[in-house]
Amino acid sequence: MSDPYSTLGVARSASADEIRRAYRKLAKELHPDARPGDSAAEERFKQVSQAFHLLSDSEKRARFDRGEIDGDGNERSHFASQGARRSRQTAGGFDDIGDVFSDLFTDFGRRQQPQKGRDVRYRMPLTFLEAARGISRRIKLPNGKSIDVKSPAGATHGQVLRLSRLGEAGARGAAPGDVLIELNVTPHKRFSRDGDDIRLELPITLKEAVLGAKVRAPTIDGPVDIRIPAGSTSGALLRLKGKGMSKKPSGRGDQIIRLMVDIPRGDSALEESVRKWEPPKGYDPRKGMEK
């Protein structure tokens, strides 16, 4: 047998703990349960075990270091008579060699228990409207099969859909893992989400704001007609009931429209009209702001 120190990959000055750790690492890598059918690994496992047996016994280790025994623990002829008279002592630093083997095989025992298959993760990109309305997408599973995945109406960014038992196969008859699908919702250029409500800024003309009007406004269900009250100012809010996101267990949020008065630039007629306009007596839009 080769040098047991070399077999375990430790220095001759290695401590008991260093030897123990080296053995456990190699034994787990080379054990027949970890590498079934690998005859080279099995032979190496035997050599590693034999090296550990020798170095875990303080007396045998000392005798090997002095050259009295070889790596197999056999007496060298020059020291045979001396070695026969020595009594075996408890291994220093290895109070109970059985503990090492007990721990090791406990680990392998756990490996041989049925183990649920690994979960598989996907990311599904959705537009804002796809998340709002719900959409079906086809994905390919680890086993090569394709399935249609339905994202629910009102889905949120970062929401995870779980498809049970469609992940990787389990070990030794255990259940397969799951497929976890994380939804990634891209922002919309006009709509924004506020809980179950949807917010929208709607530009209107000065005339529509002053006199009131009926205008078209976009919603996630398509455009609808809304009434602008006369005398509306920028920032005024209108609420469209039931035009927001789907919510659990039922129903929908609202769409909240913020009116934004848009003034065209370079309109000389409007500018002249405004020059002639005088605010009502006592009118001051900034009244009270000094306090």
Per mean pLDDT, which range of 105-119, 167-181, 201-215, 253-267 is the poorest? 105-119
The reported pLDDT for the residue numbered 206 is: 96
117 pLDDT more than 70: yes
Going along the chain from its start, the domains and CATH numbers come out as: 4-111 (1.10.287.110), 120-185 (2.60.260.20), 192-276 (2.60.260.20)
Predicted local confidence at residue 87, as pLDDT? 41
Q: Say yes or no to pLDDT of 129 above 90.
A: yes
Q: Quickly state the pLDDT bin for 88 (edges 50, 70, 90).
A: very low
What pLDDT is attached to residue 91?
Answer: 43
Quote the pLDDT of residue 73. Answer: 77
Cis peptide before 32 (omega within 30 of 0): no
Number of residues that make up the chain: 291
Least confident of 29-33, 190-194, 196-200: 29-33
For residue 104, what pLDDT is reported? Answer: 63
If you average pLDDT over residues 91-119, what whole number do you get? 65
**Sequence-separated (6 or more) residues with CB below 8 Å from residue 192:** 198, 199, 200
Q: Hunting for tokens 């703990």 — which residue is that?
A: 17
Question: For the chain, what is the mean pLDDT?
Answer: 86
Distances (CA, A) of 83 to 31, 51, 64, 87: 33, 19, 11, 9
94 pLDDT above the threshold of 70: no
Q: Which residue has the higher pLDDT, 164 or 172?
A: 164
Higher pLDDT, 49 or 253: 253
The tens digit of pLDDT for each residue in 51-74 reads 888 888 888 899 888 888 888 878
Angle at 173 between CA 171 and CA 174, to 5 degrees: 70
Lowest-confidence pick of 7-11, 139-143, 216-220, 274-278? 139-143
Share of the chain above pLDDT 70, in %: 87
The whole-number pLDDT of residue 108 equals: 60
Whether 107 shows a pLDDT value over 80: the answer reads no
Beta bridge partners of 261: 204
Q: Which two tokens stand for residue 180?
A: 């976890």
Whether 1 has a pLDDT exceeding 80, the answer reads no
Burial tier of 209 (Cβ tally within 10 Å: 0-12, 13-18, 19+)? buried
- pLDDT for residue 246: 96
Pairwise CA distance, residues 207 & 210, whole Å: 5
**pLDDT given at position 102:** 63
Instruction: List the beta bridge partners of residue 240.
Output: 255
